[in-house]
Amino acid sequence: MRDIQSQKDTRNIDIQKVGIKHLELPLIIQRKNSDDQTVCARAKASVSLPHCYKGTHMSRFVEVLNDWSCKNLLSTDIEGCLKEIVSTLDAQSGELELNFTYFVDKKSPVTGLTAPMSYECSFCGKWDGDPGGAGDYNFTLGAIVPVTTLCPCSKEISENGAHNQRACINVKVCYDNHIWLEDLIELVESCASSPVYPLLKREDEKFVTELAYQNPKFVEDVLRDCVLKLRAHPSIKKFEVECEAFESIHNHSAWAYQSETTSPR
């Protein structure tokens, strides 16, 4: 059968990224101090395409990803999987992003009751170079962490109470040494007015309400505290962090963002 994708193209346009997205596949995640967790991951994979080729071979992405997923290696060797994708598709660069819902067993702050808390997380690998030799590989770990913020201005000007709201902190980090998702989530949660929990009894609800009231923060405060902790982390070499508060008294969100490359340690 004729291979249409490999035919020559005369428009002289190199395509930076071409591939597939929304491919669902099982992914085994290594957990800190616990058994592995199997999640449903949504994969997005792409490679560069030289101007001389009409198209890439989409089925080959699925073949490689399925093979690596079946071997239970995908979560621990993104680099190896990505190199195989680049090699199989005869490309110079490639990118593989995996998004998944990750569950952490979380205890209520007073009663100590445990329930699973969900976090939207991601692995992203990028490769540029010869898959069989020299090249540049970068890996990014991401997590979206729901938290509570309480408005310092509202607390200051109000005779009774203060408005609070749920917020999300979206953090992505590149690192030298391994970082557990659990540790990254805990670091981010500590920068908010209060964490949020999947299960709260009345004693717990009293605790988190009062904790947030005693610890008011604007989105700018949350962001700056996150930046300081990410800068100070001995393994993190690059990060981006975004805080969005879904305002309870406005029909819009408050939002702050920062990205940095940390100084070599």
Q: Is the pLDDT of residue 2 over 70?
A: no
What is the mean predicted confidence (pLDDT) over 69-98? 88
Q: What per-residue confidence (pLDDT) applies to 184?
A: 98
Token representation of residue 102: 């990750």
Largest alpha-carbon pair distance within the chain?
78
Q: Is the pLDDT of residue 188 over 90?
A: yes
pLDDT tens digit string along 14-40?
899 999 999 999 999 989 988 899 999
Query: For 155, phi and psi rounded to 5 degrees?
Result: -65, -40
Structural domain spans, the chain = 15-106+124-133, 142-265
- Return the bridge partners of 264, or none: none
What is the mean predicted confidence (pLDDT) over 160-187? 95
Specify the DSSP class assigned to residue 47. E
Q: What per-residue confidence (pLDDT) applies to 222?
A: 98
Is CATH 3.10.270.10 correct for 142-265? yes
Give the β-pairing of 93-107 and 114-129. Answer: antiparallel
**Where does the pLDDT of residue 265 fall: very low under 50, low under 70, confident under 90, or very high at 90 and above?**
low
Burial of 163 (0-12, 13-18, 19+ CB in 10 A): middle
Give the β-pairing of 93-107 and 37-49. Answer: antiparallel
| Closest alpha carbon to 168 in 208, 196, 128, 203 | 196
The residue type found at 142 is G
What is the mean predicted confidence (pLDDT) over 217-230? 97
Element of type H or E holding 183:
helix 181-189
Exposed e or buried b per residue across 129-139, where buried means at least 16 C-beta atoms within 10 angstroms of its C-beta? eebeeeeeeeb
Same fold, 15-106+124-133 and 142-265: yes
d(CA 59, CA 85) in angstroms, rounded, equals 11
Token representation of residue 99: 């998004």
Q: Is the pLDDT of residue 134 over 90?
A: no
d(CA 32, CA 29) in angstroms, rounded, equals 10
**Where does the pLDDT of residue 61 fall: very low under 50, low under 70, confident under 90, or very high at 90 and above?**
very high
Instruction: Spell out the CATH class of 15-106+124-133.
Output: alpha beta
